[in-house]
Amino acid sequence: MPEKGKIDTKQAIMLSICLILPTAMLSVPAVIIRHARQDAWISLILSIFIGLLVARLIVSLSFRFPDKTLFQYSEEILGRVPGKIVGLLYLWWVLHSNAIAIDEFASLPCVALMPDTPFVAFFIIAIVVAGYAVRNGLEVLSRYIELITPIGLGLMVSLFCLLTTKVKFERLLPVFDKGLVSIVKGAAMPSGWMGEIVLFSMFIPYLNKPREACRVAVLSILIIGIFMVSVTVGILLVFGPDVSSSWIFPVFMAIRAISIANFLERVESVVIGIWVFMGFAKIGVLYYAAVLGSAQWLGLKDYRPLVAPVGIVLLGLAFLCPNIIDLLDFLARAFPPYALIVFELGIPLILLGASLIRGRRGESS
Amino acid sequence: MVALLILAFIAITLFEVPSLIKKKMWGELAAFSVYLLIGMALTIPQALGIRLPNPTKTIEALFRPLAELLK
């Protein structure tokens, strides 16, 4: 097995939070609010259920094949060639999602603060630092995440507490204004994001208590969901649906509005700090999944030699990504069906169905 | 820009390949080279200002009927 490290339950929860939350926090609320307006929180609750469904799927697959990751058991279930094709698809998806994450990571500082700095500077910093963490192995990466996640989330919560002076609860009324269709449409993008929990299957074999995988996946989806709901409701309570849906980075803009006694102002730099730390975590986790996945797909003994060339591929892909407006349009419209139907529900369902029909379990073969 | 990229490629190769050859990890070496070649194919044309086909646009075209629903 290429990876010998083990992570404990707490680290695994934070790892799956960092797999989804950092980029979801940044720009997803605006898209949900555009569809569902003040009912965005209902959309988010729907998307939590989708996330829980995907988590359940992945965990039942992993329970059938303990000690195996997505790339290994897809081959065992479907046979050699179809399994390799599924693995290749997932490899592409991880690399592409990571390129999108890197692009988003660079966009906030580039668009909001440092417009004269070229994107590529942020790309290279992100890839080099994340690559260093990945090369040092899963344990180093998850310890970094364990250190950073509570700080990031805690700071975010306290910043939103500072916003409470501007809250008006009427902005959430009337409830159910735009009807069910809009709410379901609004749920599409966050569901696509929650479904990225699929990649948690890359880490289940490395839990020191694999039996707790279900608890880890469910807890992390719930934490992400609660966090997203409170962020979105916070934005809505302060600005209402009209203003907040027109922003690219609603969280950033909301925090920018904090002004207490003309003294505590311009705290958005804290958001940039949180974003850099959490963004690195997300890029690192996806990077790790891509590198470990390709090593397992090819049946290699060691994944570390692949870290640097995969970084170059990521750099090229991140360059190819369109500007932030086009990217957000892609993420809002084409990404949910692409990710949800193919990678997050479709292939896992086929794998689970096939393994149930063929009655294969990891232990017997 | 291109010179910097080629320098980076050489640095990565010098950093990884000798130990791979010493340990006789030929599979890893092959995977390393394939990834490096893909990386070169993706980065060097872009550094020269050539526009490559964009995978994001292809995915968008494939999922257009569903994406229209989310307008």
Weakest mean pLDDT among A137-146, A161-170, A291-300 = A161-170
**DSSP bridge pairs for A207:** A7
Q: Read off the CATH number of the domain in which A165 is found.
A: 1.20.1740.10
The whole-number average pLDDT for the span A339-352 is: 88
Q: Which of residues 66-95 of A touch B (CB under 8 A)?
A: none
* Number of residues that this document lists for chain B: 71
Question: How many other CB atoms are there within 10 angstroms of residue B28's CB atom?
Answer: 24
Question: pLDDT by residue (tens digit) across A89-112?
Answer: 999 999 999 999 999 888 888 888
In a domain, A365, yes or no: no
**DSSP bridge pairs for A259:** A265
Global pTM reads 0.92
Q: Give chain B positions within 8 Å (CB) of A310.
A: 35, 39
pLDDT of residue A88: 92
Q: Give chain B positions within 8 Å (CB) of A317.
A: 42, 55
Question: How many other CB atoms are there within 10 angstroms of residue A186's CB atom?
Answer: 28
Whether residue A365 has pLDDT greater than 70? no
User: What does pLDDT average to over chain B?
Assistant: 85
Q: Total domain count for chain A?
A: 1
The shortest C-alpha distance from B68 to chain A (Å) reads 7
In a domain, A79, yes or no: yes
In a domain, A4, yes or no: no
In a domain, A64, yes or no: yes
B24: which DSSP letter? Answer: T
Question: pLDDT by residue (tens digit) across A177-231?
Answer: 778 888 888 888 889 889 899 999 888 888 888 888 889 999 999 999 999 999 8
pLDDT of residue A364: 44
A150 vs A264: CA distance, rounded Å: 23
- Which of B32, B56, B70 is facing A309, going by the closest CB pair? B32
B49: which DSSP letter? Answer: T
In a domain, A86, yes or no: yes
The shortest C-alpha distance from A175 to chain B (Å) reads 21
In a domain, A22, yes or no: yes
CB A29 within 8 A of CB A251: yes
CB A25 within 8 A of CB A249: no
Q: Give the SS3 label for residue B48.
A: coil
* Number of residues that this document lists for chain A: 365
Contact B42 A338 (CB under 8 A): no
In a domain, A2, yes or no: no
B63: which DSSP letter? Answer: T
Whether residue A150 has pLDDT greater than 60? yes
pLDDT of residue A360: 57
Contact B9 A312 (CB under 8 A): yes
Q: What are the residues whose beta carbons fall under 8 Å from the beta carbon of A347, sequence distance 6 or more? A: A74, A86, A89, A90
Tracing tokens 């990229």 back to the chain, one arrives at B5
Question: How many other CB atoms are there within 10 angstroms of residue B20's CB atom?
Answer: 18
The helix (H) or strand (E) run that includes residue B47 is helix B26-47
pLDDT of residue A361: 59
Q: Give chain B positions within 8 Å (CB) of A320.
A: 42, 46, 52, 54-56
In a domain, A363, yes or no: no
The domain of A101 spans: 9-358
